[in-house]
Amino acid sequence: MRNRFVVSLACLLVALIAVTKPLGVKPAYSKALNSAAANHGCADIPISFTFVATTTVATAAISNDIAEKPYQGLGNEVIHICSGTNDATMVLAHSTRSVSIQFPEPIPGSIIVAGPPSFAGGPAFQSQPFFNVRNVLNSGKITATSPATDFYTRMVVNYLDAPDGHSYGLRYHPDDSACPLGILPCAPDLDAPTIADMNQPVETSWLLVHFMPAPNPSQPWSPSNAAKWLVDGEQLDTASGLYQRGTLHIKTKSGGDGAHQGQYAMPFEIPPSRLGPI
């Protein structure tokens, strides 16, 4: 059986109708912190994140600090339509919530620069990172009237403070050239990071997104009439036979990305859930 970690996104249906042209792209973290003040009347789409245990034998890589309690109303849990990235973000810093994260041993052969960090292969620890699931509206192809559809995207987990006193970035971010051709479309990253060894030595796994429209799209939003995304992070890395390969970088003192610290099999998934509005 395989370890899984899950992210759930449930939105206000009426806000999907407002998906329009991009208004310019900001760096992801500052965009998430400051979007409300800079949107000039544009409204991003409120969402909830949830990380839950799965039916596998192994411990989930990332889980809620409070079992099954959604993360909402904490720090910019929105889909960023106003900046044009369509990224779904959650900022936990300075909130009362955290997530539990457990790193396995690094994938053999993936330590190419430095590491592994001391917490790899150790117990789970609590942290308040910044989560960014990229382009969940697939550049505007997902709207209030879209049918159920699947596509691939990426995710970045940044400012992940660890027990060794350092901060890290964990990326599930394959290159465009690694899109599984002829299977499903791969959403472009409209605010892509530029890190030379981000996917080395082996391309990281895509995330499979299942979009589920509201049961009655013509009716107003309600807890029982909400569009949802299931972000499935249990994709096979055929090169290793492992699931959901992520790449770790240590952060510099200025917050930039430092040395590559190896790659880790850290899968995740979530069943659909009915979450109320934020």
Residue-wise pLDDT for 61-90, tens only, equals: 888 899 878 888 887 888 898 989 999 999
pLDDT at residue 12, as a whole number: 39
Share of the chain above pLDDT 70, in %: 79
pLDDT score for 275:
32
Tell me phi and psi for residue 178, to 5 degrees.
Answer: -90, 5
The first and second tokens of residue 166, run together, are: 């350092």
Greatest Cα pair distance, the chain, in angstroms, is 54
Higher-pLDDT residue of 189 and 51 is 189
User: What DSSP element (H or E) covers 245?
Assistant: strand 245-251
- Cα 276 to chain centroid distance, Å, stands at 20
Average pLDDT over residues 206-235: 86
**Helix, strand, coil distribution of the chain in percent, nearest 5:** 5, 30, 65
- Percent of the chain exceeding pLDDT 90 equals 43
- Tokens (6 digits) for 4: 């899984």
Helix (H) or strand (E) holding 79: strand 78-79
pLDDT tens-digit map of 101-158 = 999 999 999 999 999 999 999 999 999 999 999 999 999 898 878 899 999 999 999 9
* One-letter identity of residue 237: D
Specify the pLDDT at position 3: 37
CA distances from 231 to 26, 49, 112, 154, 158 (A): 24, 10, 29, 10, 18
Lowest mean per-residue pLDDT among 14-23, 65-74, 182-191: 14-23
- End-to-end Cα separation, the chain, in angstroms: 35
Domain locations in the chain? 7-265
DSSP letters for 105-148: PPPTT--SSS---TTTTS--EEE--EEEE--TTTTTT--TTPPS
- Does the structure show a pLDDT above 70 at 17? no
In sequence order, what DSSP letters do the residues of 157-180 get, joined into one string? EEEEE-TTS-EEEEEE---GGGS-
Averaged confidence pLDDT in the chain: 81
Q: Two tokens at 41?
A: 């009347």
CA 56 to each of CA 53, 136, 233, 234: distance values in angstroms, whole numbers, following the listed order: 8, 26, 14, 12
Judge whether 39 and 97 are in contact, CB under 8 Å: no
